[in-house]
Amino acid sequence: MTVEQRRAAGVFVAGYCTFVNLYTPQAFLPTLAADLHTSATSVGLSITVTLLAVALMAPIAGAISDRLGRKRLIVGACLLLVIPTLLVANSATLQTLLVWRFAQGLLLPFIFTVTVAYVADECTGPEAIRVSGLYASGTIFGGFSGRFIGGFVADAAGWQAVFMVLASLTAIGAGFVIWAMPTEKRFKPMSGGLGATLRAYSEHLHNNRLLATCVVGFGVLFATVACFTFVNFKLAAPPFNLSPSLLGSVFVVYLLGMVTAPLSTRAAVRIGRVRALMVAMVSAAVGVVLTMSGTLTLIIGGLALFVSGVFVAQALSLGFIGAAVPRARSSAVGLYVTIYYIGGALGGVLPGGLWHTFGWPGVVGLILIVIAVMAVAGGRGWRPLAT
């Protein structure tokens, strides 16, 4: 393998290690709620606390990375992540499980945030767009694998066994990243102490193009978490009555993202990011509306359209950070990741009231509003700068 191929493979696996751990409980939330004798809203916290921890740690991880480098933080976080994952498997109460899920979330930004900054540093031009798309594909495949494996393993051996499998996959992934990902060559550490870090964040908060990208990222994860958390309760109830393994199978639609994410990067080169984003948002909106159908086939088709659209938006926003920010990229990614995961945390909580009052149509209405906001933010913030 060439250096470029190894770098691409390492970036893909780093993305996989992040997302294979993040959303896994979604595949067996109804089972987890029954086993721990709690409500749908309470067990949804198993997603929310992890996202909240990521949001809190992301800017800190970005600042640390801007000083210490990239690869060693990525590898170290992958290896340490194995520990809380095994401890989740040994949790006897919801409270204990939430503690260790929070601990997982504290480590994930050192993979997600730092890998995006690594790509921005080491790759330029068309390679940066391609590798960003490949990274997005790794996160998508990880998100699918966690849910798909989680559903089947939970059915066969219980939810505790799921996290033991995830710990093994994460350890293997860490070993691969150690071998495949070249040590950074273009990284330039920041200097100047806390003042320099604060100045960098001040620049980021005044960068409208970056802030627009953060709004798109917020919407991506809010909509995704809201959709796939609450659609499980719709599909587990009559008339569908899907088991955990079948709920896990629903996440096969995630694999479409592995196709659409690389295609989106090509589309961005040809027709521009803004037009590509508009097409993606229309797809997502049509897809989520179709999920209100009473036919399982149409619901699955709608989820496929929805997930294709939001994953295109994810790939486009990740690829735009490097273009929007001239320096301190890791802290810029940290800001993006914080807002991205705040979106995910709120996506697991805010629709709960709408679910209990209006059912699935209430959740869909909220998701459509978020999609519209994403389209406006990207449409305004991603326009080429005047020359």
d(CA 218, CA 334) in angstroms, rounded, equals 13
CA distances in angstroms from 109 to 68, 76, 320, 330, 333, listed in the order given? 15, 12, 19, 11, 10
Per-run averaged pLDDT (10 residues), the chain, 387 residues: 88 92 83 79 83 86 83 95 95 92 94 86 76 82 86 87 95 95 82 70 85 94 90 87 78 74 69 86 96 92 92 83 74 83 85 90 97 95 67
CA distances, 58 to each of 52, 243, 332, 336 (Å): 10, 35, 10, 8
Question: How far is 271 from 191, CA to CA, in rounded Å?
Answer: 39
pLDDT of residue 119: 87
Residue 387 confidence (pLDDT)? 37
Q: Which residue has the tokens 């005044």?
A: 206
Q: Write down the pLDDT at residue 286.
A: 97
Half-sphere exposure of 274 (CA within 13 A, CB side): 12
pLDDT (0 to 100) of residue 15? 92
b/e burial code for range 193-224 (CB count within 10 A of at least 16 → b): eeebbeebbebbeebebbbbbbbbbbbbbbbb
Query: Of 215, 223, 225, 211, nearest to 309 (Cα)?
Result: 223
Per-residue CA distances from 104 to 6, 51, 79, 107, 220 (Å):
27, 9, 11, 6, 21
Rounded Cα distance, 194 and 132, in Å: 30
* Tokens encoding 279: 């097409």
Check: CB of residue 261 under 8 Å from CB of residue 133. Answer: yes
Structural domains in the chain?
Answer: 3-381 (1.20.1250.20)
CA 347 to CA 224: how far, in whole Å?
8
Q: What gap in Å lies between CA 11 and CA 229, rounded to an integer? A: 27
Q: CA-to-CA distance for 154 and 158, rounded, in angstroms?
A: 4
Q: Are 114 and 65 a contacting pair, CB within 8 Å?
A: yes
Q: Rounded to whole angstroms, how far apart are CA atoms 91 and 172?
A: 23
pLDDT the model gives residue 219: 96
Residue located via tokens 């070993």 = 175
Indicate the pTM of the whole model: 0.74
- Count the neighbouring beta carbons within 10 Å of the beta carbon of residue 91: 19
